[in-house]
Amino acid sequence: MEGKIIKIISNDCTVLSDNQRFVCKPRGKFRKSNICPKVGDNVEFDSENLYLLNIQKRKNELIRPPVSNIDQAFIITSVKKPDFSPNLLDKLLTIITFHRIRPILCFTKMDLLNEEEKEKMYHYFSYYRKIGYTVYENTDIEKIIKEFDGKISIFTGQSGAGKSTLLNRIDPSLQLKTDAISEALGRGKHTTRHVELISLFNGLVADTPGFSSISFEDMSKMDIRDSFVEFSKQNCEFKDCMHDREEDCNVKKSLGEEILLSRYENYLKFIREENQK
Residues in contact with Zn ion by CB under 5 A are 236, 241, 243, 249, 251
Is residue 158 part of the contact set for Mg ion (CB under 5 A)? no
Q: Identify which of residues 193 and 245 has a Cβ nearer to ligand GTP in the complex.
A: 193
Q: How far is the CA of 227 from the CAs of 85, 94, 108, 231, 270, in angstroms?
A: 18, 5, 24, 9, 12
Distance of CA 208 to the CA centre of its chain: 9
Q: Is 90 helix (H, G, I), strand (E, B) or coil?
A: helix
Is residue 191 part of the contact set for Mg ion (CB under 5 A)? yes
Q: Is 118 helix (H, G, I), strand (E, B) or coil?
A: helix
Residue 249 touches which of Mg ion, ligand GTP, Zn ion, none (CB < 5 to 8 A by kind)? Zn ion
User: Nearest distance from residue 97's CB to Zn ion, in Å?
Assistant: 19
Q: State which residue has the least CB distance to ligand GTP.
A: 210
Paired residues of 23 in beta bridges: 14
Burial of 76 (0-12, 13-18, 19+ CB in 10 A): buried
Is residue 164 part of the contact set for Mg ion (CB under 5 A)? yes
Q: Identify which of residues 99 and 243 has a Cβ nearer to Zn ion in the complex.
A: 243
Nearest-CA neighbor of 225 among 138, 97, 124, 82?
97
Q: Identify which of residues 137 and 230 has a Cβ nearer to ligand GTP in the complex.
A: 137
Task: Name the site residues for ligand GTP (rule: CB under 6 A).
Answer: 108-109, 111-112, 138, 159-165, 178-181, 188, 190-192, 209-210
Binding site for Mg ion (CB under 5 A): 163-164, 191-192
